[in-house]
Amino acid sequence: MNSPEYRSDFWRSITLSGWLESLVETYGTLAVFVGTTLEGEAVAIAGGVMAHREHLSFWPVALAAATGGYLSDVVIYSLGRKYKDSPRLRGALENPKVARVVAKLSLNIVLFALIFRFIPGMRTAGPVALATLGMPPLQYGFYTGLAAFVWGVTGVMLGYFLGHSVEALFGELHRIEHALIAPAIVAVVLGGAVYLWRRHRRATREV
C-alpha cells in the first residue's frame, strides 16, 4: 500500500494545473469561491479533487463554486445593462461565431439563460447578450441561479470522481509506471479536447 505522502506526490505528478490545486488546498473553500468568480471550470474541478482527498467537504465546495459562478454571471449582466450601447460591447457581440449562437438562442431567452454557461466561449458573451436583449433582472437572476447551481455541483463532482477513478485504477502501480501513465493521461485529455473543438467548428460552419 502506498503511503499518503506518495499518493500525494502521484496526484501532483498527473495534475495539469498543480499550482491551482495547491491554491485550493491551501486556501480551501474561499479559493474555490474566488476562483470560480474569476476563472471557472478548472477551479471547480480542483475543488472536487480536494474534496475527494478529504482536504475539503464536498457540499461546501460545490456551493462555493456555484455561488462564485453566479456572482460572475450577475456582474457581467449588470455591466452589459449599463454599457449596452457601447460600440466596443456591440462589436464583441457582432463576432460571427458569437452572433450565430446568440441569434439561435435569442429565440428562447429562458433557454439561453439556462444553458449559456455550458457553451464554450459564451461565459461572458451570454450575460451581455441577455442584457442587450432586455431580459428582466429578476428573471435573469432566477434562471442563471439554477444554471450556476447545476454547473457548480457538476464541476466539483467531476473533480471528485476523477480523483476516485484515477486512484482506483492507478493507486497501486510502481513509480516507473506512474511516469508512463502521466503522459498517456495528458495525451488522452488533449486528444479529446481537439476532437470536441473540431466537432464544434464543423457544427458552427454548418449553421
- pLDDT tens for residues 97-147? 778 888 888 889 999 999 999 988 788 889 999 998 999 999 999 999 999
Q: Are 45 and 17 in contact (CB under 8 A)?
A: no
- Burial tier of 4 (Cβ tally within 10 Å: 0-12, 13-18, 19+): exposed
The C-alpha cell at 14 is 498527473
The C-alpha cell at 149 is 447551481
Q: Are 24 and 47 in contact (CB under 8 A)?
A: yes
What string of pLDDT tens digits covers the 207 residues of the chain?
Answer: 445 544 444 444 444 456 666 777 777 888 899 889 987 788 888 888 888 888 889 999 999 999 999 999 999 999 988 887 777 777 777 777 778 888 888 889 999 999 999 988 788 889 999 998 999 999 999 999 999 999 999 999 998 888 766 556 545 444 434 444 445 445 555 555 555 566 656 655 544
Q: Residue 199 has what pLDDT? A: 61
Q: Residue 14 has what pLDDT? A: 43
SS3 letters across 99-124? HHHHHHHCCCHHHHHHHHHHCCCCCC
The C-alpha cell at 50 is 480536494
